[in-house]
Amino acid sequence: MILPADQFFSQEPVDGAPWAFIAVMGVTGSGKSSFIKLVSGNQNIEVGHDLQSCTSEIMGYSFHYNGYNINLVDTPGFNDTNKSETEVLQDIAKWLKQSYEGDTRLNGVIYLHSLVNVRMEGSALRNLKMFRQLCGNEPLKNVILATTFWGEVNQDVAEKREEELRTTPDFWGSMISRGSTMKRLTERRSALDIVSTLLQKAPVTLKIQRELVEEDKSLIDTAAGQTVNEELVRLAEKHAEELSKIQQEMQEALKDHDEEMQQILDEQQRKLDKELSKVHRQQEQLRYDRRAEKRRMENDFEARIREMQLEMQRQAKARGEGVA
């Protein structure tokens, strides 16, 4: 593709050019890594061809386009196959917090959605809610909602799904009404157009950055953290109810000396115990960040005190040697 003369492209950043930072988000399989590979020209980016996640860590990829050095940040999918929703939120929140503390602001966020997905429900809806809470209302004007895999779906079907995303408030409708822009990702020119749209935006502070840094909230107390925790609470209650039912059935089986049923129920109980423990671990992870940060600050403070004491001892020793 030949670019206009004023839209110079280079795979390497250009000295002296201003920087723009753009996060790329979406569920696993939405085409995040493919988009970054397409727009940056970086052929070393691994792209998945199934529902297994390729991006397990947050990675930045830099290039130069249209007068800007651009850093596209690839993030794990909200329904990552290798991490829980809690772990994904932890990773993204930690990166956003550190970026904000380092005085780096995002020019925007690109949220990708594959039109191959027949409907938006369950975890996809929950993850979209978490994304909205992560951004907050005001920064939504710096969000590009892009549909992907147009070539994989019948055109009429694709347009129908696009319209459903656009007009349904619980999908993209409410975000569009608050200033988000909807785009189609079809080839490289459309990918560069998506990036160019965000280059014209003033950098923003996302809601979760303000909550974690300015309001000093723990992750579980942020709006995005509460969205994840609501689901964990629902799962914990569901598993506890099922466990109680199994324990009642176990008592009946023991009373009837039904050893086969006892074995079946025992296996079900072990499975539910495991699932319940998993849910509790994720809730603990949401609370862990604040305690870990507090311990780090306490350790840093103690280290500074020890260093001051050692310095005072060295000075006292030096004075003593001087007198001698």
Domains of the chain: residue spans and CATH: 9-214 (3.40.50.300), 219-323 (no CATH)
Residue pair 135/207 in contact (Cβ under 8 Å)? The answer is yes
Q: Which range has highest mean pLDDT (33-42, 87-96, 203-212, 283-292)?
A: 203-212
Token readout for 44 is: 């070393």
Of 156 and 126, the structure prediction assigns the larger pLDDT to: 156
Angle between helices 85-101 and 123-135 (to 10 degrees): 20
pLDDT of residue 38: 92
**At CB < 8 A and 24+ separation, what contacts does 40-49 make?**
40/11, 40/70, 40/72, 41/9, 41/11, 42/11, 45/74
Mean pLDDT confidence for 214-234: 86
**23-27, 36-40, 61-65, 117-121, range with the lowest pLDDT:** 117-121
Grade residue 2 by pLDDT with cuts at 50, 70 and 90.
very low
pLDDT at residue 145, rounded to an integer: 97
**Higher-pLDDT residue of 140, 318:** 140
Question: Are 25 and 131 spatial neighbours (Cβ–Cβ below 8 Å)?
Answer: yes
Q: What percent of the chain has pLDDT over 90?
A: 47
Rounded to whole angstroms, the Cα distance separating 301 from 303 reads 5
